[in-house]
Amino acid sequence: MKVGLAQIKTGENAFAFSSTSDAWLRELAQRLSLQGIQIPGTIEIQMQLTKLEPDYYLKGALQFEVEQACGRCAETFRMPIAHTFELGLAHVVGTGKKAAEASLSEESEELDISYFEGPEIDFGPIVEEQILLSLPYTAICRTDCKGICQTCGSDLNQGNCGCPKYNPVNAFAMLAQLKNEEL
Ligand SMILES: [Zn+2]
Ligand SMILES: [Zn+2]
């Protein structure tokens, strides 16, 4: 996923990638699978790169699915992810980071800036970071997932198991009572 600077025209340039067999992507997939997150399908990547002389403005969109176990009911489920991002890309040549920062901050004060050196832009590390940012904090198969019964372990989405409801207030009251009896 590298694009040579010579290939980039003045103005807008569109690039599309459908997950590649790049080493970084395989490594990322491996790292995520250790955390219980699988990416079963392809990752669709769209980029719009604008040449600003001397720097670049990047708008990107990612689309893929993650597969993981629900934090409540432990069922494996798939979730579609659609993520967009904007980034300033500063070419570090001689002038250094400060100059690049100054030229890009004219475009937008709040733009995150990423730096690159050399004659090409490698989208790999950029996309990797954005994939990580796009992952959900909590894995819940659906907002109303009832989870598993604390007593018998059955999946409460399949129906009520009939166990009495676990009530932490009562449990503490019982503990307090036991303690009093011991004394
Ligand atoms: Zn669930
Ligand atoms: Zn139960």
Q: What separation in Å is there between the alpha carbon of 159 and the centre of ligand 2?
A: 10
What local confidence, expressed as pLDDT, does residue 129 receive? 93
**Which residues, listed in sequence order, are joined to residue 79 by a DSSP beta bridge?**
66
What local confidence, expressed as pLDDT, does residue 144 receive? 94
Q: What separation in Å is there between the alpha carbon of 151 and the centre of ligand 1?
A: 17
What local confidence, expressed as pLDDT, does residue 170 receive? 63
Q: Is the pTM of this model over 0.95?
A: no
Q: What separation in Å is there between the alpha carbon of 75 and the centre of ligand 2?
A: 17
> Cα(115)–Cα(8) distance, rounded to whole angstroms?
17
User: From the CA of 159, which ligand is nearest?
Assistant: 2
User: From the CA of 147, which ligand is nearest?
Assistant: 1
The segments of the chain whose pLDDT lies below 50 read none
What local confidence, expressed as pLDDT, does residue 85 receive? 96
What local confidence, expressed as pLDDT, does residue 157 receive? 93
Q: What separation in Å is there between the alpha carbon of 172 and the centre of ligand 1?
A: 27
Report the sign of the C-alpha dihedral through residues 14, 20, 26, 32, in that order: positive
Q: What separation in Å is there between the alpha carbon of 143 and the centre of ligand 2?
A: 21
Amino acid type, 174:
M
What local confidence, expressed as pLDDT, does residue 87 receive? 92
Q: What separation in Å is there between the alpha carbon of 160 and the centre of ligand 2?
A: 7
Q: Taking CA 99 as the corner, what is the angle to CA 96 and CA 100, rounded to the nearest 5 degrees? A: 85
Report yes or no: 89 and 108 within 8 Å, Cβ to Cβ.
no
As a whole number of Å, the end-to-end CA separation of the chain is: 71
Q: What separation in Å is there between the alpha carbon of 178 and the centre of ligand 2?
A: 25
Q: What separation in Å is there between the alpha carbon of 181 and the centre of ligand 2?
A: 29
User: From the CA of 145, which ligand is nearest?
Assistant: 1
- From the number of C-beta atoms within 10 Å of its C-beta (0-12, 13-18, 19+), residue 141 rates as buried
